[in-house]
Amino acid sequence: MGRTAGGGRTAQADGDLGFVNLRTGTLTGMAGFAVVICGGGIAGIEGLLRLRRLAGDQVDVTLLSPADYLLYRPLAVLEPFTGAAARRYEIQRIVADAGARWVRDGLAWVDRDQRVVHTDSGHELPYDALLLAIGGHELPSSEHAVVFNGRNAEHTYGGVLAAVEAGDIGSLAFILPDGPTWPLPLYELALLTAQRSRDCDRRLDIAFITPEPRPLHAFGGDAGEAMTRLLEQAGVDLYADSSADVAGPAHLILRPSGLELYPDRIVTMPAITGPAIRGIPGFAIDKFLHVDEFCRVRDTDGRIFAAGDATDLPVKQGGVGAQQADTAAAAIAQLAGAAGAPSPLRPVIRGMLLTGRDPLYLTAHLLAGRGWLAQIFDERPWPVDAKIVAEELGPYLDAFEPSVPQTPAG
């Protein structure tokens, strides 16, 4: 590596002789400019692949991640309805293909003065540039609610759907948490469940509670009107501008109205907070990593970057995290002297909205750094081959033979 750190161990996955790309047979990754990428999710792997393409062998890249696999869930909400499990891809294979080093460990803290990443097991990883893509932290939810997320879609919601199909439950309440989130999956879950109950000829009362003044409020009027119309057509009762106190396993109290609901099951998504990384500035309350238009973490030395759910961008979505990673990789390549000036982040969301019938398509552009302007279309407004989660990761995975599909429990 380009520098060494005193007083500790430096984690080396394959010694000090470089790293062989399994596809090309070439030795790469020992040029001296040390880059550490923390996180093995979509943003972390996208950043790794983009950086290797932009900087080639001029950077020595280490991926720090405790996970053995990248779980790829672009349509996780469908898993309970179709039984199709997510694909998974070996981190070791991806890192080898990129001519990088993999340290199977977690991030403990960052010493910005010495430019050293400290791992959970006590190793030290010196860096010249650092990309933090470790995701946000999920806050605890009520023990009386089913928490739906992309990692456990079939495991957590499959039982609810089976009870709907069997006619064992007659009412559901979906609660969208306040704060940073990606709201589409919960709306889709309500619409798909309503359609499944009709297909099974089961009566099901569905309530959807959101703190937003209208559905998809952050995406503008067209998106909100489209979602309101879909919910009404599906027979879903919408309670906007409301929060819900879970008073028991089948008892909700809506605020500020005080209205009480008694659904058979309660479904929500996890509320997310920032990772609060020791050594990295984070807002005292939300603990997210605040980034500029080049995805540099604010109040650092310009060598620390962040992408994905760990950042303060209010919408959490894989495609946006990948675009942040691409921006960060371009800026890191410039620091390494391997590329020119990067372009600032201009994120664009492309999303397919599952309705239980014909899908709708959403495109959204970030305006003024915070709000989104979205449009809804009946037909796909972008080329079929452009609907990828990430510009580097999408084509790479298309040519990659995944490991045996598996949906983890939990």
Tell me the residue ranges of DSSP E strands in 276-407.
304-306, 348-353, 360-367, 371-377
* pLDDT of the residue at 10: 35
Domains annotated on the chain, with CATH: 9-136+274-344 (3.50.50.60), 141-270 (3.50.50.60)
* pLDDT of the residue at 3: 43
* pLDDT of the residue at 284: 66
Res 264 pLDDT > 90: yes
Res 14 pLDDT > 80: no
Length of the chain: 410
Helix (H, G, I), strand (E, B) or coil at 129: strand
Average pLDDT over residues 161-185: 92
Res 402 pLDDT > 80: no
Maximum CA extent, the chain: 69
168 compared with 271, residue with greater pLDDT: 168
- Of the listed ranges 141-145, 149-153, 324-328, the least confidently predicted one is 149-153
Mean pLDDT of the chain: 85
∠400-406-410 over CA atoms, to 5°?
A: 135
202 CB-side CA count, 13 A: 22
pTM, two decimal places: 0.86
* pLDDT of the residue at 370: 59
* pLDDT of the residue at 6: 33
Residue identified by tokens 């509670």 is 209
pLDDT tens by residue, 367-384: 765 567 788 888 888 766
pLDDT tens by residue, 30-51: 458 999 999 999 999 999 999 9
Round to whole Å and give the CA distance between 283 and 295.
16
DSSP string, 159-199: HHHHHHHHT---EEEEEPPSSSB--HHHHHHHHHHHHHHHH
* pLDDT of the residue at 9: 31
Round to whole Å and give the CA distance between 322 and 328.
10
Spatial CA neighbour of 322 closest among 408, 393, 407: 393
Those residues whose C-beta lies under 8 Å from the C-beta of residue 15, and which sit 6 or more positions away, are none
